[in-house]
Amino acid sequence: MYYKILSLLIIFSIHCVAGTIKVSTLNTMWCFNSQSAIKSQVSAPKDMTAEQYQKKIYNLSGFINGNNIVAIQEIGGVSELNDLILSNHYNVAFTQGRDTYTGQNVGILYNIPDWTMVNSGRIPILNKILSKHLCVVFKNKTSPEILIILTYHLIRPIGNNKDKHHEQINALNQWASAIIKLPNTRIILLGDSNSTTKSNIFPELTDAAQQYGYPSTQLMNAPLDRINYSSKITLVNYTVSKPPYGNKPNAYNKTIWTDHSLVTAEFKLD
């Protein structure tokens, strides 16, 4: 029923306005169908009912509509990504991650007129340190320009994981430092950093939130979700959109939505 309703309600608005693209990141908070939940060693995805899953898909599909690129975290797998696009005009990029405990993965939904996706997958030098990441490479249809999108979900810096979280940040910085030296290449790095620091954790790139004072992107009131970008990209606008459930949602509302905001940056590619 939700799929039929959504197909009638969603207004297709994916477009590039005056040479700009809209790029978003969203942690979906355990967007797992029943098949993916079985593979997880965590109870949270197993507690979701089929009806709640359908409502979550319906809510989040409308939430992300209208962007050119959407980086997704805490997704069960490719089947959930395909459910999320529903009537939206998105393509799906996905590669199985290496988090065998939670089963959480990341993915990228994209629809960029004038650009062609030429490659996607995990970065070999990041594999050992970063279990949840995905890189997608786009080439402009009329020029040699390359746009690289990398999404990630970093480990929470709690207890013994503090050092690993720091190592993951360093690894992404080192990767970005090498890539930005390539000719005709732009980078957008985005995802759930699990960092509460109100400063740029990826200094090789510009943080879209910096000039906006690092607003909270999650219910714990921290700027966890980041969008960073390289040179030859100009930030036009930056928004943090909360799910429509108020400041103190109950467990049910978080289940059928998420505990994160949708973070969106509109860019002009110079």
Q: How many Å apart are CA 219 and CA 196, to the nearest integer?
A: 12
In a domain, 234, yes or no: yes
The answer to whether position 238 is within a domain reads yes
Q: What single-letter DSSP state applies at residue 48?
A: -
Per-residue pLDDT of the chain (270 residues; tens, 9 = 90+): 333 333 333 333 344 444 899 999 999 999 999 999 998 999 989 999 999 999 999 999 999 999 999 999 999 999 999 999 976 889 999 999 999 999 999 999 999 999 999 999 999 999 999 999 999 999 999 999 999 999 999 999 999 999 999 999 999 999 999 999 999 999 999 999 999 999 999 999 999 999 999 999 999 899 999 999 999 999 999 999 999 998 889 999 999 999 999 999 999 998
Instruction: Count up the domains in the chain and report the number.
Output: 1
State the CATH number of the domain containing residue 134. Answer: 3.60.10.10
Confirm whether 15 is domain-assigned: no
Residue 239 lies in a domain: yes
Cβ-contact 14, 62 below 8 angstroms = no
- Residue by residue, what is the 3-state secondary structure of 144-212? CCEEEEEEEECCCCCCCHHHHHHHHHHHHHHHHHHHCCCCCEEEEEEEECCCCCCCCCCCCCEECCHHH
Residue 71 belongs to some domain of the structure: yes
Contacts of 244 (CB under 8 A, 6+ apart): none
Task: Give pTM, 2 decimals.
Answer: 0.92
Asked, for residue 17, whether it belongs to a domain, the answer is no
Q: For residue 253, tell me if it sits in a domain.
A: yes
- Burial of residue 100 (CB within 10 Å: 0-12, 13-18, 19+) is exposed
Pairwise CA distance, residues 172 & 182, whole Å: 16
| Residues spanned by the domain of 223 | 2-8+22-269
Distance CA 270, CA 267 (A): 9
Query: Rounded distance, CA 129 to CA 134, Å?
Result: 13
Token pair, residue 33, equals 């169908």
Task: Examine residue 13 and state whether it is found in any structural domain, yes or no.
Answer: no
- Where would I find the H helices in the chain? 2-9, 34-39, 50-64, 78-85, 124-127, 161-179, 251-256
